[in-house]
Structure 1
């Protein structure tokens, strides 16, 4: 006498809430915060939800579709300044707030820079940001300036994310530089050594150093963009 396998209960009959695309993205976002954007698989998302991988494909699609959903969700959490904020303050705020959000989800910043912020939640930010630059007088260069500013800032976030894969890199670099401390014949390396030694003296302050360097990068990028708004210097003949 043949026996049939017991039928699996539906989620509804088991008293479980239905699976939706939003729930799938929620789980993938949580895994991204824990493991990075490249650190999870569709099977791990399905295990977290207690469903078969095919359910993910049915509601969202393949892994890249889920990654797009995660990227969209993360970008939507970056506060966007109002369009009437002066251009320099607008971008400073967006980049600093963006870093705070993106650092919680390793890998998303790199995808934004490499692939582009090609998700729905980014479109209004792009529109407002370029309009702010047009109003500031950047004219035909507005779109390039927008890309330059955000790529400069968020590529640095990607580097900060990636540095987690090399836990001894900072200390190793510090040891290399320390050999040149006080070397008057190589003043550039001596200056780098002094800074490296100062950083290593307070390893608990690494996060503060990273934020300070990010702020420095943002301000110098803004300086470079602002220089485009100044009239060309008059020639010496006049």
Structure 2
């Protein structure tokens, strides 16, 4: 009996360009931007490229290999200043630009903090960042200071990503705290409530507040690292 199962024509016969590892990672990066790293799957990529899942495995490998390719591609998009930039300015720039890039790909920041940036595109950042700290006087503690600064910044980015699962949480928290404004019996909550009352519950205003808090965290982290230099 003839085989009635549908047969997929070859890409060449269908007039489609050949599949390459780069095209697969391109598609994986797009999926990550839309669904987050947790939503990335071989099936999602193969559907987008109109290929069998086995094609992904053949050119790149399993899902973990694809994830590593996504991390490598995303990190490569973060601009890195030269080592002649003052250390505070260097880290301020990389952490701020890093947040802008990482927020476009939910889940990547959490992966970097949990596992580390063990992909080729991260190596120039690590080398330059530690050299900048060594020149500033951190000496043998430069690698520790490097990890401290980036973990402080990008852990907060990971929290921002996860908060996307609770779209009304920040506004709800603000309203709850605002109820304590003026409560003299609980001065700590009163202060928090006064601050919350002054803030808007508008999503755009909340996004601005998140950016301001991120920059505040970056500056306080830099202050903490600088205290290491002051203490010798």
TM-score range, shorter chain: over 0.9
- Counterparts of 2:62 and 2:40 in 1: how far apart (Å)? 13
| Matched residue, 1:236 | none
Are 1:10 and 2:10 matched, yes or no?
yes
Are 1:65 and 2:72 matched, yes or no?
no
Normalising by structure 2, we get a TM-score of: 0.95
Q: Alignment length, in residue pairs?
A: 231
| Matched residue, 1:181 | 181
- Counterparts of 1:198 and 1:69 in 2: how far apart (Å)? 44
- Counterparts of 1:197 and 1:7 in 2: how far apart (Å)? 63
Q: CA deviation at 1:40?
A: 2.6
Q: CA deviation at 1:177?
A: 1.0
> What is the DSSP-based 3-state SS (H/G/I as helix, E as strand, rest coil) of the residue aligned with 2:200?
helix
Question: Does structure 1 conserve the Cα–Cα contact (< 8 Å) formed by 2:28 and 2:70?
Answer: yes
Where structure 1 has 5 or more consecutive residues not aligned to the other structure, the ranges are 233-238
- Counterparts of 1:142 and 1:219 in 2: how far apart (Å)? 18
Q: Deviations over 1:107-135 (max 9, x none)?
A: 10000000100000001110110011011
Question: Does structure 1 conserve the Cα–Cα contact (< 8 Å) formed by 2:46 and 2:52?
Answer: yes
Q: CA deviation at 1:208?
A: 1.0
Q: Deviations over 1:158-187 (max 9, x none)?
A: 111110001121122123212211011211
| Matched residue, 1:80 | 80
Q: CA deviation at 1:201?
A: 4.9
Q: Deviations over 1:50-72 (max 9, x none)?
A: 00101111111111110110011
Q: CA deviation at 1:198?
A: 2.0
- Counterparts of 2:47 and 2:202 in 1: how far apart (Å)? 41
Asked which structure has the greater CA Rg, the reply is 1
- Counterparts of 1:175 and 1:205 in 2: how far apart (Å)? 14
**Residues 135-214 of structure 1 aligned to structure 2 (within 5 Å):** 135-214=135-214
How much is the aligned-residue C-alpha RMSD, in angstroms?
1.4
Q: CA deviation at 1:78?
A: 0.2
Q: Deviations over 1:32-88 (max 9, x none)?
A: 111111013211110000001011111111111101100110000000011111111
